[in-house]
């Protein structure tokens, strides 16, 4: 019994079960897209598909990422205790867990429609590519931004049966948000990444990292505000925008000195930006 419990705990550590911030960063823009596409509550079926599917795919992504980075993780203090790099989980085990989780997510997608299923294959491809992007791409956070934004066109496709231009505009805005918070994340490990030869936006931007992060936040808020003005015309939405902007100012105070603690705290709290935006959209849609 103890061995089974220990193995379960290791698997939970592998998928970052105790760190929900990761899947929340995926969830809020996806749910926002669902509510916009449905002009309100999208129904329990689609809500369950996208909530559970988001958690499953983020967990699968953690498995793939840890396998790809196992030789790097052991040299970085923050990641040295991850199960794959320590040997607590073998590469085959991690890939098997990731495959099962991705398959379960795909089973959920099968309950939607053909276009959503088609987009899910593109989403999987980007998810598989991201862990290796940091070896070749100077701004791998942009690849992550595409991966983390695929839930937006999938949500529109599931509700409407097509993907309107609005979905791609929202995905672009979301890409800016991902660039902001994942650059904060990269700032935490900058010294280790430089030593290991890993490419990140924090290294590429160098002293322009903080201004670039704030600019990306501003672009995210601006793009989503302009894109959604017609679809959620309520004062509640604009209150949410203000709350989101205030959080950006707070994040600036956390990252301006570029301390590991401040940058990591800013990253971990980012899901509250997405939550504020989603609540504004959902409440605005409910009062139309």
Longest dimension (CA), the chain: 57
Nearest to 150 by CA among 172, 132, 183: 172
d(CA 60, CA 78): 20
Per-residue tokens: 158: 């599931």
Q: Quote the pLDDT of residue 2.
A: 53
Q: Which residue has the higher pLDDT, 264 or 5?
A: 264
Its domain, for residue 234, covers 2-286
CB under 8 Å to 41, separation ≥6 — which residues?
35, 47, 285, 286
Cα 178–182–127 angle (5° rounding)? 70
Indicate the DSSP class of residue 1. -
Which tens digit of pLDDT belongs to each residue from 16-62? 888 888 899 999 999 999 999 999 999 999 999 999 999 999 999 99
Q: Which residue has the higher pLDDT, 115 or 190?
A: 115
Q: Is the pLDDT reported for residue 1 higher than 70?
A: no
Q: How many domains does the chain have?
A: 1
**Residue range 105-125: average pLDDT?**
95
The top-scoring range by mean pLDDT among 77-81, 139-143, 213-217 is 213-217
CATH of the domain at 205: 1.10.357.140
d(CA 166, CA 38): 13
Nearest to 60 by CA among 9, 91, 119, 105: 105
d(CA 195, CA 190): 9
Distances, alpha carbon 248 to alpha carbons 213, 228, 269, in Å = 10, 20, 11
């Amino acid at each position: 019994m103890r061995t089974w419990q220990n193995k379960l705990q290791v698997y939970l550590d592998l998928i970052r079960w105790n760190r929900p911030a990761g899947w929340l960063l995926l969830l809020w823009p996806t749910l926002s897209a669902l509510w916009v596409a449905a002009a309100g509550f999208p129904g329990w079926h689609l809500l369950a598909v996208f909530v559970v599917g988001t958690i499953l795919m983020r967990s699968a992504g953690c498995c793939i990422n840890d396998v790809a980075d196992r030789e790097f993780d052991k040299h970085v203090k923050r990641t040295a205790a991850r199960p794959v790099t320590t040997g607590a989980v073998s590469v085959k085990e991690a890939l098997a867990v990731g495959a099962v989780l991705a398959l379960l997510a795909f089973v959920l997608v099968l309950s939607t429609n053909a276009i959503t299923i088609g987009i899910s294959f593109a989403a999987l491809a980007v998810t598989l590519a991201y862990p290796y992007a940091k070896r070749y791409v100077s701004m791998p956070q942009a690849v992550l931004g595409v991966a983390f934004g695929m839930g937006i066109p999938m949500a529109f496709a599931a509700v409407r049966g097509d993907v309107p231009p609005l979905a791609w505009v929202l995905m672009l805005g979301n890409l800016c948000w991902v660039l902001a918070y994942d650059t904060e994340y990269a700032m935490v490990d900058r010294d280790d990444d430089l030593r290991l030869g890993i490419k990140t936006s924090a290294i590429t931007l160098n002293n322009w990292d903080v201004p670039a992060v704030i600019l990306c936040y501003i672009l995210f808020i601006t793009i989503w505000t302009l894109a959604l003005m017609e679809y959620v015309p309520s004062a509640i939405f604009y209150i949410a925008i203000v709350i989101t902007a205030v959080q950006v100012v707070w994040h600036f105070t956390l990252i301006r000195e570029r301390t590991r603690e401040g940058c990591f705290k800013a990253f971990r709290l980012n899901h509250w930006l997405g939550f504020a935006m989603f609540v504004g959209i959902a409440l605005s849609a409910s009062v139309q």
